[in-house]
Structure formats: structure tokens, C-alpha cells
Copies of this chain bind each other. A is one copy, B any other.
Amino acid sequence: MKQALEGVRVLDFSQLLQGPYATQMMGDLGADVIKVERNGSGDIFRKMTFFNQWIAGDESPCFMAWNRNKRSLAINIKSEEGKKIIYKLVEEADVVVENFRPGVMARLGYGYEDLKKINPGIIYCSASGWGDDGPYLTRPGQDLLVQSVSGALMTSGKKSDGPVAIGTALCDQVNALNSVYAILAALYYREKTGKGQEIKTNLLSSAIAFQMQDYFTIQNLGRTFERPESKIGHPGNGAPFGTYQTKDGYLTIAMSPWPTLVEALGDPSLMRYNDLQVLFDERDKIHGIIEKITLTKTTDEWLEIMLGLDLWVAKVNDQKDVEKDPQVVHNQTFVDIEHPKAGKVKVTNIPFKMSETPGQIKRPSPMIGEHGAEILEEIGYDAETIDKLLSENVISIEKIK
């Protein structure tokens, strides 16, 4: 079966999380993504991990998570020979993605103005932390730093907690999604008109756009969100919306008609709170009252009672239990693939179905420069020249130990 982005070639100069996630999404739908890595050492994310632990000796789960469906070319892009190779690849490329600090690519001869001379139809997407210019231009644009400036740290948890970091790379990942959104729109436009263009995304704008509803409320209603002191699930919502401890775990109750919830909880006296304003104003107190009752039964017992009354409830999973959740199993959310060094690894599947052009995981994350020789062959280099480029350290190919 065909894939939606078959025939699209992406030249990917990005590293760490944001750019690699964006290009992985294109690879998942069939684009040929050539990951241009630093000669020898590769993407610096290969040297970062969690808990100071590694897979198969020295492979990073962080790197592996965001680099499937790509081919790797490890190359010294500052060398003359390296530049010749990159320029040659640009001729056949549709999309370039990079996430260096603004200006770095241009200084190396790979800015949009340089590359569009070679290929006027190129779609060139740069991602920065803060924007392509402005007062924070030279500041580090790491995810948690951008979360901090974007206001996102004041949206979760309790008010008395102070800032609460969102435990995923929120800004990197949302900007990756926005980058793909812009790139695919540009590809569509190029099909219609033949015209390429430059796209500039940044983590800060993506992080704020992700809080669009909050900002719309704050700026147009003139009222700031104050986080609750209880486990009410959103600063703008009243009880019962939130999470509740049970006898053996946690239960989430979303928007649910109060009288029905009172019926489920079995304490008719709670009808005294049956007023939207009271449920908002006294949410912390009401949360506590509800939780005293939810503590008396297990999560499954509450699910049975409450789902039976059409209340909006769910259990709270620990991350380690998610792969066993019946719906997750049904959805085939996790699949095994083979990695040349780590053997069988489990990866998260493409999160949607396309009837005509399904996403596919065809390749694990590459070794450093693994596909260097085949990529150079494709653009006309012979075996002898490739050996020479290897021995001169213009390109490198990692050997599996």
C-alpha cells in the first residue's frame, strides 16, 4: 500500500527533540528522511538519557524514541567535500528542517537564501526557542525554560505548589506538531503553485498557542486562573471535575450532573451543593467531601456504579500499567520492531488510522551514519570515492560492536 508522503524527501539537520520528532512524523507517513548528523558523534541526543542508564550499552532511549523511519548520513558539513554532498542532496530534496540557533545555518552556507538558489521549490523550516529575532535571541531555548516563560508552569497542580513543570517536553513536542502542520500546508501549496517557501516556528509561540483558551479567557474576561488547593483538575473548573483517591487507586470524575453524582455517592445531603457557583467557589471543600466517600470503594467498583449512571469517569493509570490497559491493547498502541544493536524494541505506534495510506514503522532509529554509503551511491558517488570520504573523515559509518 502507498503512503501519503511517499516521494517526499526531507533533509533533516535537526537534533535533540523538536526537529527529530517533526521529521519522524513525516517519515511515519512515508517521507524519505535523511538525518544529517555530526560526523563521528552524531545527534547530541544520542549522549543523553534518563537515570544515567542506557540501552544495549550506549544507545539512548531519548534518541531512539524520536528517530525511527530515518536514514542517517554522518557528515562534516563544514568541509568542502561535505558541502558538495549536501548541495547535491538539496537538489532532490523537498523539505529542509533545522533547529540550530537562528543564523547558524546561514553562516555555514545552508541558509534558506543559499539553498533556494539550488532548489527554488525547497520548503525550509527553521525552529528556534524564542523566535527568529528579538530580545531573547541569544538565550538558550530549552523546553523547560520556554515552559517557564510561556506561563505553562502555572496551569497544573496546586496554587501553593508554585511552578509545576509539565512532565513531558511540552514545548518541543507541540512545536514539532506545529512545524509538521506548516510544512504539510506548504507542500500542498507547492503542489498547486510550484512555489517553495521559508517557515519559521518557535517553541515559545507554540507553547502560548497551546494555552490559547486560557489566554483568551484571561485577556477578554479579565480574570486570572487560580489553581485550586485540592485535586480539582483545572484552575477554571468547579467540583467535581478532578481526581479522587479510592480504596486502591485513583478515579477521575469529569463534567457530571451533580444530582446523578450524589446518587452514585449515596449521600443525599450533598444536594445542598447543587449550584454551579457553589460548586466553583467551594470546590476544594467539596472535593474533600467527595474523596471521603470515594475512599470507601475500589476504583473498579466506582467505575461500575458511575459508568452505569452515565457519569463521566475513568480510572487513573500509572504509566507502567498503560500497556496493559484493555483499550490500549485493543488499539495496538505499542508494537515491536527490530533494532540492529538493541534487538527487539517496543515503540509507540502511529496514533491514527488512514484508510488509503496508513502510517508504517519501517525502520528503527539508525546507527550514526548507517546509510551514508547508500545515500552517496544514490547521488552518483562510486565505492572508491565513498571509501576516500570515509578515510578522510568527511563521512563516518558507525560499526555495530
User: In the complex, which of the residues B161, B216, B234 contacts A348, with contact meaning CB atoms closer than 8 Å?
Assistant: B216
A165 touches B243 (CB 8 A): yes
| Least CB distance, A334 to chain B, in whole angstroms | 7
| Least CB distance, A172 to chain B, in whole angstroms | 10
Of the listed residues A181, A192, A355, the one surrounded by the most CB atoms of chain B closer than 10 A to its CB is A181
User: Given A146-B314, A151-B318, A162-B250: A173 and B210 within 8 A (CB)?
Assistant: yes
Within 8 Å CB of A139, what residues of B? 307, 314
Interface size on A, residues (CB 8 A): 154
> Per-residue 0/1 for A114-136: is the Cβ within 8 Å of any B Cβ (1 yes, 0 no)?
00000000000000001111111
User: Given A167-B235, A199-B352, A254-B140: A204 and B50 within 8 A (CB)?
Assistant: no
Looking at chain A's contact residues, the main secondary structure is mixed
A64 touches B156 (CB 8 A): no
| Least CB distance, A304 to chain B, in whole angstroms | 12
| Least CB distance, A242 to chain B, in whole angstroms | 7
Within 8 Å CB of A355, what residues of B? 197-199
A367 at the interface (CB under 8 A from B): no
Of the listed residues A2, A153, A169, the one surrounded by the most CB atoms of chain B closer than 10 A to its CB is A153
User: Given A156-B156, A198-B355, A318-B224: A242 and B165 within 8 A (CB)?
Assistant: yes
A318 touches B154 (CB 8 A): yes
- A176-199 contacts to B (CB < 8 Å): 177-182, 184-189, 191-193, 195-199
User: Given A243-B153, A319-B155: A134 and B178 within 8 A (CB)?
Assistant: no
User: Given A168-B214, A254-B144: A61 and B352 within 8 A (CB)?
Assistant: no
Within 8 Å CB of A108, what residues of B? none
Sample (12) of A-B pairs whose CB atoms are under 8 Å apart = A144-B252, A151-B318, A156-B156, A157-B161, A165-B234, A167-B227, A175-B351, A200-B353, A202-B331, A215-B319, A219-B323, A219-B345
Closest 10 CB pairs of A and B: A155-B167, A50-B236, A197-B356, A184-B184, A134-B330, A205-B351, A151-B319, A145-B314, A65-B216, A165-B233
